[in-house]
């Protein structure tokens, strides 16, 4: 995702994730957040994903949720929701997000989840829980 800028409306959100996950820089936080969001969206209907995007009061965070990869965005709108197990969810984060060596995929997920939950209304937080696999749902609900 080189060359992608971080706008002011995303900066505070991503700095929180950077600190919680112990990332060396804000671009690591951005790249991993996009992959966590993409993995979450892959388990949802297009309508649910759109509803969640609309629930963000911060347009910068909504843009991170939406994904700036046009091909990924198009494909996710065309295919049905995927059934992803907890192990596969974490593996995707590890492989697709380029997680730094000293950071665990679980640490990344916890950092993103704890930060994003603060940005969403409680009914949306509850809705998201219904899409997550059991092991990931536990992380989402415990934060």
Confidence of residue 3 (pLDDT cuts 50, 70, 90): low
User: What average pLDDT does this structure show over 120-135?
Assistant: 98
Does residue 32 lie within any of the structural domains? yes
CB atoms within 10 A of CB 62: 17
For residue range 22-80, list pLDDT tens digits in order.
999 999 999 999 999 999 999 999 999 999 999 999 999 999 999 788 898 888 889 99
Contact (CB, 8 A) for 40 and 128: yes
Query: Phi/psi at 119 (nearest 5 deg)?
Result: -100, -5
Mean pLDDT of 92-118: 94
Q: Which domain holds residue 36?
A: 8-142
**Count of structural domains, the chain:** 1
The two tokens of residue 29 are 């936080």
Inside any domain, residue 3: no
Are the C-beta atoms of residues 36 and 89 closer than 8 Å to each other? no
How far apart, in whole angstroms, are the C-alpha atoms of residue 106 and residue 93? Answer: 9
What is the maximal distance between C-alpha atoms in the chain? 37
Which CATH number do you get for residue 62? Answer: 1.10.490.110
């Amino acid at each position: 995702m080189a060359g992608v800028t971080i706008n002011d409306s995303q900066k505070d959100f991503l700095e929180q994730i950077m600190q919680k996950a112990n990332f060396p820089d804000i671009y690591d936080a951005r790249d991993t957040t996009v992959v966590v969001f993409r993995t979450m969206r892959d388990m949802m209907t297009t309508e649910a994903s759109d509803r969640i995007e609309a629930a963000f009061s911060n347009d910068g965070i909504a843009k991170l949720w939406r994904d700036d990869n046009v091909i990924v965005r198009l494909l996710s709108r065309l295919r049905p929701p995927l059934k992803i197990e907890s192990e596969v969810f974490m593996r995707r984060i590890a492989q697709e997000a380029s997680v730094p060596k000293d950071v665990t995929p679980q640490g990344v997920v916890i950092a993103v989840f704890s930060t994003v939950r603060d940005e969403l209304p409680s009914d949306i937080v509850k809705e998201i829980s219904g899409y997550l696999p059991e092991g990931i749902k536990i992380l989402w609900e415990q934060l």
